[in-house]
A and B are shown apart, each in its own frame.
Chain A
Amino acid sequence: MKMQYLKNVVTLRLDPLHCGGCGRCVEVCPHGVFKIEEKKAFLAARDACMECGACARNCPVDAIFVKNGMGCAVGILNAKLGRTSSCCGESQACCCSTQPEEK
């Protein structure tokens, strides 16, 4: 079953002028956001993006921009509260743990 999150919120941008059509973004995206047509990538399903940043990291010509972060309410709230002891933080990722590091 396909689940969809909010519409029109993600920071993902693609610059078609710089795109060389290598297809890495299609390869790494776990949500099928990108497609290639006539040797250029385009955003076929922008709203499916979860901002993991894999495409931008692997684009050899820096044609993709996304402000990556984890879509985790606990992590975002922890970051806002300035809690760094917790493993969840806005720019960090730890999908399913809200536990502080064990010493």
Chain B
Amino acid sequence: MSDASGKSYTRGQDEAGHIQTVSTRWSWRDTLGACAVRWCVRRRTYTVVPGLYAVGTPTPESPLLVSANYKLSFDHLRRALEGLSAWIVVLNTDGINVWCAAGKGTFGTEELVTRLEAVSAAKHMSHRTVVVPQLGAPGVAAHEVRRRSGFQVVYGPVYAKDLPAFLRAGLQATPQMRRVGFSLRERLAVTPVEGVQRLLPALIILTLFVASAGLGRHGYRDLLEQWPWITLAVGSNFVTGLVLVPALLPGLPGRAFAMKGAAAGVLLGLALAWFWPFGHAAALSVGVLSVGACSFLGLMFTGCTPYTSASGVRSELRWALPLQGALMLVGLAGWLVSRFI
């Protein structure tokens, strides 16, 4: 068995069959990488080579755990195993996390069975039990894995941090370990990624509104006078939709995300309309546009949650999109008309 002298886990099992031992500590590179991917930097290429890895000094009796080859998934797993000895088999999920890859099927029965075979798992283990993360279950059929590989699948806890307790209890999860949460921290974890991805559209929208401010009688003068306010309005909508709605999610009224977004939008719209210094018509339009925009951004946040169903989102889209579209049209019309009165 080779030692963890290499800083990055890019080797897995080499040709001679040596298994790389990985540390349970994060290096500064791991921390930096984890921060970077949270901001969309190198996210698609942040991978580990699929294969068999060792943590601590595992024996044939040590537990066999499964992970995806998104490095952040793998890093969270190994960090949770501080002081323990285990085997980790990393599946090839094209660098996608366990949960998303399971939905796609790349983290699935086929890949698990063939990967267990490819790394000769049966030769390294004296037991025939494999611990698959619970969030991988949408892709893995436990009974088929058993039939095809001889390995009995036990689903581990949702969160890697619960693994030590789960292993100590003899592969028993408490009901609490089986439940997925959505804490404030988790709700805001994807905000930077979303923010980076929506930055360009937001800048385009901002540019269009600033340009349209110059359409009226006083043209260029209006534009110069109003651009800070327009920037404030677009910026505060951006922050409300991407930060406040996720942060305040449980406290916002309604179950539908379009409703929750709209509620935040009403508050923001009222504030903006109240202080808007360039006429009532424009103020009202800004308010209406804010409600529509925040409602839309709220709806878009459904993809970042672990509890919205596709059927639910589809039903929401049916009534919310037309309403949001109507609000936007009314708001835009008011905004344009207000240029000329």
Taking Cβ atoms with an 8 Å cutoff, the residues of A that contact B are 1, 3-7, 9-11, 24, 26-32, 48-54, 57-58, 60, 67-77, 88, 90, 92-99, 101-102
Contacts and interface: CB of A to CB of B under 8 A. Distances in A.
Contacts of B139: 57
Interface stretch (B24-32, B216-224, B249-257, B271-279): B249-257
B154 to A, nearest CB: 9
Given A70-B303, A71-B311, 11 more contacts: A5-B309, A6-B315, A50-B306, A68-B103, A72-B308, A73-B316, A75-B303, A94-B103, A95-B190, A96-B194, A97-B43
Given A31-B180, A93-B102, A94-B104, A53 B138 contact: yes
Interface stretch (B4-12, B140-148, B207-215): B140-148
Given A7-B255, A58-B140, A93-B102, A71 B313 contact: yes
Contacts of A11: 311
Nearest to B173: A27
B104 A73 contact: no
Contacts of A102: 44-45
11 contacts: A4-B307, A6-B309, A10-B311, A26-B178, A32-B178, A52-B138, A54-B134, A57-B137, A93-B99, A98-B303, A99-B197
Report, nearest first, the 8 A-B pairs whose CB atoms are least far apart: A93-B103, A72-B303, A71-B308, A69-B310, A54-B137, A28-B137, A30-B180, A51-B309
A99 B155 CA distance: 31
B104 A10 contact: no
B309 A50 contact: yes
A98 B197 contact: yes
Q: What does DSSP make chain A's interface, helix, strand, loop or mixed? A: loop
B178 to A, nearest CB: 7
Contact of B313 (A3, A31, A76, A97): A76
A93 B100 contact: yes
Given A71-B303, A94-B104, A28 B313 contact: no
A77 B100 CA distance: 18
B302 interface: yes
A57 B142 CA distance: 8
A99 to B, nearest CB: 6
B312 interface: yes
Nearest to A77: B317
Given A3-B182, A52-B103, A67 B140 contact: no
A57 B44 contact: no
Contact of B300 (A26, A73, A93, A97): A73
Nearest to A103: B44
Nearest to A48: B307
B96 interface: yes
Contact of B138 (A32, A48, A68): A68
A30 B305 CA distance: 13
B255 A6 contact: yes
Contacts of A73: 257, 299-300, 302-303, 313, 316-317
B302 to A, nearest CB: 5
B140 A6 contact: no
B168 interface: no
B303 A96 contact: yes
- Report which residue of A4, A31, A51, A57 has the largest number of chain B beta carbons within 10 angstroms of its beta carbon: A57
B113 to A, nearest CB: 14
Nearest to B143: A60
B185 to A, nearest CB: 12
B303 A88 contact: yes
A96 B190 contact: yes
A71 B316 CA distance: 11
Given A29-B178, A58-B143, A9 B311 contact: yes
Contacts of A70: 103, 303, 310
Nearest to B315: A9
B158 interface: yes
Contact of B179 (A31, A52, A69): A31
Contacts of A52: 103, 137-138
